[in-house]
Structure 1
């Protein structure tokens, strides 16, 4: 059975994953409950895929504390090559590479970000599960989770959980 590609992400009530200048204070200032289900989810994946912008954000904001050290991490980039201490850079076709990953043995694959990468996956109908946690904050403008689409994506609700002020929506692709 192929592995699943899962989007696990938080967004503001109005659909943004960060402010225009990549800040997340609105997210960290929201009162949650424990780790809001993160550890439970994290144990279901062994592979992480990121876009270059998301990877750069992590490096700039997490310093030497790379959060996915015990996972196989791939960063899709047109300008970085090879392997560093945390990730392998993939310069080829994102979709072909990911389809091969899905066929390999292992746990699920997590799309950490960002919006550009997600859009490509949505176009190719590669996202199997969607776990979107909503913070009760309206940012007004910022980096949207979903880019403007010229296609429809239908999902089916698998579950809803509450972590104090956060609401987690869990969907499967149809």
Structure 2
């Protein structure tokens, strides 16, 4: 039997745990001096499927001025209001657990959960994330969109690797 595909959360956060400011800005992240692309290409080449929340997708389309950055990957957008496909993505309004378990059983590479915060919370709560790669920027935002929401469950992780990328630190965990 083939090994099950792994679902990764690969994301950057401020030192105090925010993935964006309250107005969805990432300027604080781009001001931080990294090392090359901070391991992005290395990770991206292991992925063939990408999962994105609708709000994050809309933000990407706006910021990239319609130039979708994940064109050669299978991309699924979780949306309560939109369905169908376009040339780059398929909109999904199915049960998160059912859909994710279905694609994890398919042949292929790793699956990347891009975001956002609400979708991430659902995936963690349902224990769908297999590994976490979290890059920490040396910035304190004080408020914004949290990486992790308050919850009533516990998830134990095992540290796989720590990597320094100039001013960033990358932490890589797998779920126990």
Tell me the SS of whatever aligns to 1:31.
coil
Per-residue CA deviation, residues 88-137 of structure 1 (Å, 9 max, x unaligned), is: 00011111000000000000100000111111111111110000000000
| One of 64, 80, 87 as aligned partner of 2:89 | 87
Tell me the SS of whatever aligns to 1:101.
helix
Structure 1: gaps (5+ residues)? none
| One of 170, 173, 176 as aligned partner of 1:171 | 173
Give, in whole Å, the separation in 2 of the partners of 1:111 and 1:9: 9
Query: Do residues 134 (structure 1) and 173 (structure 2) align?
Result: no
TM-superposed CA distance for 1:151, in Å, is: 0.8
Aligned alpha-carbon RMSD (Å): 0.6
Tell me the SS of whatever aligns to 1:139.
coil
Give, in whole Å, the separation in 2 of the partners of 1:13 and 1:123: 23
Match of 1:43 in 2: 45
| TM-score normalized by the length of structure 1 | 0.99
Give, in whole Å, the separation in 2 of the partners of 1:85 and 1:59: 13
| TM-score normalized by the length of structure 2 | 0.97
Task: Kindly report which structure 2 residues correspond to 1:54-93, keeping only aligned pairs within 5 A, or say none.
Answer: 54-93=56-95
Give, in whole Å, the separation in 2 of the partners of 1:23 and 1:123: 26
Give, in whole Å, the separation in 2 of the partners of 1:53 and 1:170: 26
Match of 1:145 in 2: 147
Per-residue CA deviation, residues 26-65 of structure 1 (Å, 9 max, x unaligned), is: 0000000100000000011000000101101101111132
Structure 2: gaps (5+ residues)? none
Query: Do residues 15 (structure 1) and 2 (structure 2) align?
Result: no
Give, in whole Å, the separation in 2 of the partners of 1:32 and 1:82: 38
Tell me the SS of whatever aligns to 1:68.
coil
